[in-house]
Chain A
Amino acid sequence: MSQKTDHHVILRIVAKPLIPIIALFGFYVHFHGDYSPGGGFQAGCIIAVSVILYSLIFGIAPAMRAVPPAFTRSLAALGFLIFGGVGVWALLMGGNYLDYDALFNEPPGGHDGQHYGILMVELGVLFAVAGSMLSIFYAFAGRVTEIKDEDW
């Protein structure tokens, strides 16, 4: 599986420019989630899918070198921590847990706290979902397959 076979060359050439675009689209979906469909969950999945596509086409070992499993599982934990941390930040500023209005101590009617709070919370969701999905994929893909390539 690891040695390069010639009959996948078109797939490789087509996928190579596509993968960064998919990852970029993931970030667009996240940062534009306030105005259009999308958000942390979808963006996390799209970013995970770009790495999964890379590992399907170039093999699991190069993908693990590019995005190490240790990184993905720390990313998942970090995302969950960011989400919880925003809540603790609101607590420290004198509000309720996850009350974004309290984040910057704005006068009533200001929306900065809500905007940045939502963006940060969604960033936490993005990290958690992307990291979790990639960890799950690596756990499955890293095992020895029962069905060999020749059987197809």
Chain B
Amino acid sequence: MLEFILERGNYWAIIGLMMIGLYTLFAATNLIKRLVGLSIFQTSIILFYISLSRIDGGTAPILYGKDAKGHGGGHGEEAAAGHAAEATHGAADAAHGAASHGMAHIYSNPLPHVLMLTAIVVGVATLAVGLAIVVRIREAYGTIESDEIRQMDLDVALAEYAEDHSGEANPA
């Protein structure tokens, strides 16, 4: 039971972070605070993906030692070295064979790293667009509180409606 919790506690902590971001996104009326909440939400998704890519006993996905020298040929040699390393490391590296065949070391999965790396950069770019829209809203309305903006829109719409209605009602 304790092992089960330890293995999944990471996910639960990340879900907690996501809940904080989502709450800020929902509850805050200030638009900049909302965007900060959105970026917390986004960071928690990135944390989740990266935690899925981790492998026990693995290292950063940069080839080193014997793996880095293996340009093309010598694949059998590498595999032999890998098996020798496996034998010396013993039971702790029981996962070795499944994780990376023919590699002298275990590396964590590079694919989620690549996807999240680009997601971070694109996240900042979209944050910049959001902030630019907030700046324009501030210039048009004089406030960045969403409830005040909604109230202003409602007032304007009501005034326009009343004007149109009075124009129609008078001749009749």
Direct touching of A and B (C-beta under 8 Å): yes
The answer to whether B121 and A41 have CB atoms under 8 Å apart is yes
- Contact mask A111-145 → B, CB, 8 Å, 1/0? 10000000000000000010011001001100100
- Return the chain B residue nearest A137 by Cβ: B128
Docked Cα-Cα span, A133 to B120, in Å, equals 13
For chain A, give the interface size range. Answer: 10 to 19
**Cα distance, A41 to B116, chains bound together (Å):** 12
In the bound complex, do residue B62 and residue A36 qualify as a contact, i.e. CB atoms below 8 Å apart? yes
1/0 per residue, CB under 8 A from A, across B111-137: the answer is: 000000110010011001001100100
Query: In the bound complex, what is the Cα–Cα distance between A142 and B155 (angstroms)?
Result: 33
Query: Across the interface, do B132 and A111 meet the contact criterion of CB distance under 8 Å?
Result: no
Pairwise interchain contact A136-B128, C-beta atoms closer than 8 A: yes
Question: For A140, what are the chain B residues with a Cβ–Cβ distance below 8 Å?
Answer: 131-132, 135
A17 interface residue, CB < 8 Å from B?
A: no
Q: How far is it, in angstroms, between the C-alpha of A45 and the C-alpha of B72 when the chains are bound?
A: 34
Describe B's contact surface by its main secondary structure.
helix
Q: How large is the interface on B (under 10, 10 to 19, 20 to 34, 35 or more residues)?
A: 10 to 19
C-alpha spacing A45/B131, complex, angstroms: 18
Inter-chain CA distance A36–B63, complex, in Å, is: 10
Select which of B62, B71, B124, B125 is within 8 A of A37 by beta carbon.
B62
In this assembly, does B60 line the interface, its C-beta being within 8 Å of a C-beta of chain A?
yes
Q: Which chain A positions have C-beta within 8 A of B62?
A: 35-37
Q: Is the CB of B132 within 8 A of A37?
A: no
| Closest partner residue, chain B, to A136 (CB atom) | B128
Q: Is the CB of A37 within 8 A of B60?
A: yes
A135 nearest in chain B by CB position: B128
A109 CB → nearest B CB, Å: 5
Q: Considering the chains assembled together, what is the distance between the CA atoms of A140 and B135 in angstroms?
A: 9
B residues in contact with A111, CB < 8 Å: 71-72
| CB–CB B125/A132 < 8 A | yes
Q: Considering the chains assembled together, what is the distance between the CA atoms of A139 and B129 in angstroms?
A: 11
- Which chain B residue has the least Cβ–Cβ distance from A36? B62
**Interface pair B121/A129, CB less than 8 Å apart:** yes
Q: Residue-by-residue, is B77-101 near A (CB-CB < 8 Å gives 1, otherwise 0)?
A: 0000000000000000000000000
Residues of A participating in the B interface, judged by any CB pair closer than 8 Å? 35-37, 41, 45, 109, 111, 129, 132-133, 136, 139-140, 143, 146
Name B residues whose Cβ lies closer than 8 Å to a Cβ of A: 60, 62, 71-73, 117-118, 121, 124-125, 128, 131-132, 135, 138
